[in-house]
Each structure stands twice: as structure tokens, then as C-alpha cells.
Amino acid sequence: MQETVVKVLDVFESKYHTFIAMEYMPGGSLMTRLFEAEGRCLDEGSVRVIAYQLILGLEYLHFKKIFHRDINPANVLMVGDHDTRVKLADFGVSTVVSGSNQMAVTKCGTRRFKAPEVRLKNDTAYTSKIDIWSLGATIYLW
């Protein structure tokens, strides 16, 4: 679902930088929320609600043939301070695949959350399943 992906409002460039204006997400990142919890895990109900939204977001991206390639708690933004609504963000290493095989080979993403096929040293191609692996690693952290 498109409602689970952060909206880009504008993009502009200077000589040395590219700036992306996106919708305001006052709740910060899931990573910040986890640090503020000081070692306590999120309750099971919250994890279920958040995971469901992220699955819907990935379903939408994969339907559009987009691999996020960097699912981790820092790239999950909270809609509000005391809210369980989330949106996927940071598409800096994402890719759009084409053709019938819909595979990619570039090695990228946050090390701790990478799927095994992305971590391999050779040029092994991978599918959108790498995002599901990263989501699982992210949920495990909660």
C-alpha cells in the first residue's frame, strides 16, 4: 500500500548536493524508539501492527518492481510519537528491476540486516526476497 511508504514532496539540487523534501514524520525512526525503550522490547501487539504495515509496504514496492534493499529500524519512520503507524523511508540504494527474471546483483544495504545472498562475495543475483529477510531481521531486533 502506498500509505506505508514516505511521500517525496520535492527534489532539488545544488552544485554539490541533492535535497529531498519528504513528508514530516514526527515520531522519528523505529531505531530511535527502540533506543528510548532502554532494552525493553515492544509489546507483541505493537510488533504485529508494525510488521503488518511493513509487509503491505513491501508488497506495494515489489508489485512496482522496486527492491528497497535496506530494510532496517533506522529506515522505518513512525507517523506519531505514541503511534504504531509506520512508513518505509530511505530509498537511496533501492532499485527498479525489469525483464522477466526480476533480479539484481549489486551488493548494498546495512550489514547487520543483509540477506545471505547479498553478503556472498561472488556476483550472485537475488530477488525481492532479500527485503523479506531484512524485515525478519528487523522484527527480530524488536
Strands 86-88 and 76-78: antiparallel
Looking at residue 105, its amino acid is V
What cell numbers appear for 118 in the block? 547479498
Interior angle at CA 100, CA 97 and CA 104, nearest 5:
35
56/37: higher pLDDT: 56
Q: What is the homologous superfamily of the domain 2-141 according to CATH?
A: Transferase(Phosphotransferase) domain 1 (1.10.510.10)
pLDDT over 70, % of the chain: 99
Q: What local confidence, expressed as pLDDT, does residue 1 receive?
A: 61
Given a cut of 70, whether residue 29 has pLDDT beyond it is yes
Q: What local confidence, expressed as pLDDT, does residue 94 receive?
A: 93
Q: Kindly tell me the burial class for residue 75, based on how many C-beta atoms sit within 10 Å of its own C-beta (0-12, 13-18, 19 or more).
A: buried
Listed as own residue / partner, the contacts of 122-125 with beta carbons closer than 8 Å and 24 or more positions apart are: 125/101
Q: What local confidence, expressed as pLDDT, does residue 135 receive?
A: 96
Listed as own residue / partner, the contacts of 91-99 with beta carbons closer than 8 Å and 24 or more positions apart are: 91/66, 93/69, 94/61, 94/66, 94/67, 94/68, 94/69, 94/70, 95/66, 95/67, 95/69, 96/64, 96/65, 96/66, 97/65, 97/66, 97/67, 97/128, 98/65
User: For 78-125, how does the pLDDT look when each residue is reduced to its tens digit (9 = 90+)?
Assistant: 998 777 899 999 998 999 998 778 899 888 999 999 999 898 877 788
What cell numbers appear for 64 in the block? 512496482
18/101: higher pLDDT: 18
Q: What local confidence, expressed as pLDDT, does residue 39 receive?
A: 67
Reported confidence tier of residue 142, pLDDT bands at 50, 70, 90: confident
Task: Please list the active-site residues.
Answer: 70
